[in-house]
Amino acid sequence: MSKIQEVKTMVEAGKAKLVPGLVQEALDEGNAAGDILQAMIASMGVVGDKFSKGEAYVPEMLMSAKAMSKGVDVLKPLLTGESSSSLGTCVIGTVQGDLHDIGKNLVAMMLESAGFNVVDLGVDVSADKFLEAIKQNQNVNLVACSGLLTTTMPSMRETVQTLKASGLTGFKVIVGGAPVTQEMADEIGADGFASDAGSAAVKAKELVKA
């Protein structure tokens, strides 16, 4: 088994303690940092798919994401020079009135591992806070709004519409959370929708490259 393959397997298994050493061994073997990163992203994709199908649960997702972030730490110094490692900046937060953050944290980890610089605003984030973050950070090309409570869906609608009416440009808005559907995303004017963390990273890349 090649070192890159071992890295993939261990990220999938959520072995955070073993991944950094294996990543270093893969580098020592002469593998490019970008290739190792892609392999880890692929294994997070597998975990995301399993999660979507109900074959893996939040703890496994978190363990794999942690393993990946440990691997990414080893690669970061080598990746900073590569434009491929940055897809832009994503501002993410759970909308006002909602204090759930597990889903948002998973999406933030997945986006970071996919190559976004992530600005996490936390929970109970007002539309104004989202706007402020877009103005304060450079190269914001994605805004991710999360919500788990049905009662906060009006708040999500307000946030998306405020962002769209702000006159600020250059970014796409993606929404997600248990009660959110593609129909709702279309209705409130969001650019994209993802049902889980794995598909959020895929959709986010599509949106910023479109």
pLDDT (tens digit, 9 = 90+) per residue, 124-157?
999 999 999 999 999 999 999 999 899 999 999 9
52 and 145 housed in the same domain:
no
For all residues of the chain together, what is the average pLDDT? 90
Contact 104, 77 (CB under 8 A): no
39 and 114 housed in the same domain:
no
Alpha-carbon gap, residue 64 to 11, rounded angstroms: 5
Alpha-carbon gap, residue 25 to 194, rounded angstroms: 35
Q: How many domains does the chain have?
A: 2
The phi, psi pair for 179, rounded to 5°, reads -85, -5
Among the residue ranges 22-31, 58-67, 182-191, the one predicted with the least confidence is 58-67
3-state helix, strand, coil in the chain (%, to 5): 60, 15, 25
- For the segment 36-46, the average pLDDT, to the nearest whole number, is 84
> Looking at the DSSP assignment, which residues form a beta bridge with residue 174?
144, 192
78 and 91 housed in the same domain:
no
Most confident segment among 66-70, 101-105, 126-130, 191-195: 126-130
Contact 190, 166 (CB under 8 A): no
191 and 109 housed in the same domain:
yes
pLDDT of residue 80: 57
Token readout for 52 is 């979507």
CATH code, domain carrying 124: 3.40.50.280
Alpha-carbon gap, residue 85 to 31, rounded angstroms: 16
| Boundaries of domain holding 176 | 86-209
pLDDT of residue 44: 81
Quick one: pLDDT band at residue 5, thresholds 50, 70, 90? very high
Alpha-carbon gap, residue 145 to 125, rounded angstroms: 9
What value, to the nearest 5°, has the Cα angle with vertex 35 and ends 32 and 41?
A: 145
CATH code, domain carrying 33: 1.10.1240.10
Residue 22 has pLDDT above 90, yes or no: yes
Q: What is the DSSP letter of 107?
A: H
- For the segment 7-22, the average pLDDT, to the nearest whole number, is 95
Contact 117, 86 (CB under 8 A): yes
